[in-house]
Amino acid sequence: SQPDGLHPYNDNSVMRSYIFQYTQKTLVKLDIESLEYIPQLAKDLATVSDNGLAYTYELLEGINWDDGTALTAKDVLFSTKIMLCPLTNNAQIRSNYSSVIKSIELYPGNPLKFTMHAHKINYTNADIFSELYIQQQNYWDPNKVLDNLTFEQIHSPKFKETEELSNWFNKYNHADNSYRPQQLQGLGAYQVTEWEASQYISLERKEDWWGKNDNSTYSNTYPDKIIFKVIKEDASTYLALKSQEIDVTTRIGTIKLMKLQEREYFNNNYHSE
């Protein structure tokens, strides 16, 4: 099935997560081989304070947005405010973050450094940024509307919605930011270039991606183009594999998979253990 949308924070389907592996980036990531968290946009995992409530990160140098401007800790601050704000249409996941993140502290002398202050001690605090896709402040908020929004306001049970904030979040929550390819910006190596509803989503490799010289597993960009085909039925998946119309699938029933595994050409062309 197709994703419910590709909004950075408002949509939450499994298919969205697959596509975001190519179009978005997080500070840290769960390595599927070691099952341990590894840095991605950060130089290293967080340095934790003695009291277990402050987590300090420093971003890698040389990470640029698609317009050529550098990623800074201000983008992390901006992204965190959006994720936590009650005006964002992400009620299904917001508490996962608002229950952990108390505030973000910047360092004027170092634009790449920041500290996340947590509400309480928890062993999962250091992993909180593993699913928070960092967004560009200059792209989404060129007028710096959210600069005046504090974490105290965000966490307040008496949160006050101003006209300026209401207008900004109405635009941010708009469906265009879930479906229009030109709106789907991110730090990943690929850009969404086409979305044919209920048919396919096409991604194309960025020519000037900041990480093109990074040889790590999660920065490999072998295909020039990746097409996610929307296949709704198990029988259709079976036929697509049988005729070798697709390269990968994560969803097919056991019986149909076993039937395919009886064919030599299938075993020669697909890994299905």
* More confident site: 152 or 252: 152
- pLDDT of the residue at 206: 96
Structural fold of domain 14-181: Dipeptide-binding Protein; domain 1 (3.90.76)
Give the tokens for residue 38.
């590894």
pLDDT of 265: 87
The confidence score (pLDDT) of residue 187 equals 98
Q: At what angle do helices 91-98 and 73-84 cross, to 10 degrees?
A: 120
Mean pLDDT of 28-45: 95
CATH 3.40.190.10 fits 189-269, yes or no: yes
Question: How high is the pLDDT of residue 204?
Answer: 97
How sure is the predictor about 246, in pLDDT bands with cuts at 50, 70 and 90? Answer: confident
pLDDT at residue 28 in the model: 98
| Long-range contacts, 40-47 (Cβ 8 Å, 24+) | 40/218, 41/71, 41/134, 41/187, 45/126, 46/116, 46/126
Tokens of 75: 């983008």
- Whether the per-residue pLDDT at 3 is higher than 90: the answer is no
The lowest-confidence range among 61-75, 116-130, 251-265 is 251-265
**Domain residue ranges of the chain, discontinuous segments joined by +:** 14-181, 189-269
The per-residue pLDDT for range 187-224, each reduced to its tens digit, is: 999 999 999 998 999 999 999 999 998 888 888 888 99
Query: What average pLDDT does range 20-49 have in this prediction?
Result: 96
Q: Which amino acid, one-letter code, is at 178?
A: S
Average pLDDT of 243-259? 87
**Would you call 231 exposed, middle or buried from its count of C-beta atoms within 10 A (0-12, 13-18, 19+)?**
buried
Token pair for 199: 């048919």
| Spacing of C-alpha 5 from chain mean position | 12
Quick one: pLDDT at residue 205? 96
Q: What mean pLDDT comes out for the span 232-256?
A: 87
Percent of the chain's residues with pLDDT above 70: 100
Amino acid at 15: M
Distance from CA of residue 161 to its chain's centroid?
27
Among candidate residues 97, 90, 92, 88, the one with its CA nearest the CA of residue 171:
88
Say what the pLDDT of residue 272 is. 85
Q: Could you report the per-residue pLDDT of 97-107, keeping only the tens digit for each?
A: 999 999 999 99
- Please give, one letter per residue, the 3-state secondary structure of the chain: CCCCCCCCCCCCCHHHHHHHHHHCCCCEEECCCCCCEEECCECCCCEECCCCCEEEEEECCCCECCCCCECCHHHHHHHHHHHHCCCCCCHHHHHHHHCCEEEEEEECCEEEEEEEEECCCCCCHHHHHHCCCCCCHHHHCCCCHHHHCCHHHHHCCCCCCCHHHHHHHHHHCCCHHHHCHHHCCCCCCEEEEEEECCCEEEEEECCCCCCCCCCCHHHCCCCCEEEEECCCCHHHHHHHHHCCCCCCCCCCCHHHHHHHCCCHHHHHHCCCC
pLDDT of residue 234: 84
Instruction: Name the band, by pLDDT with cuts 50, 70 and 90, for residue 89.
Output: very high
Q: Which residues of 114-151 are buried (b: 16+ CB within 10 A; e: fewer)?
A: bbbebeeeeeebbbbbebbbbbbbeebbeeebbeebeb
Residue 174 confidence (pLDDT) above 80: yes
pLDDT score, position 45? 98
Span 106-112, average pLDDT = 98
pLDDT digits (tens, 9 = 90+) for 40-71: 999 999 999 999 999 999 999 999 999 999 99
In DSSP terms, 227 is beta-bridged to: 202
What's the pLDDT score for residue 238? 84
The predicted structure's pLDDT at residue 149: 98
Rounded mean pLDDT of the chain?
94
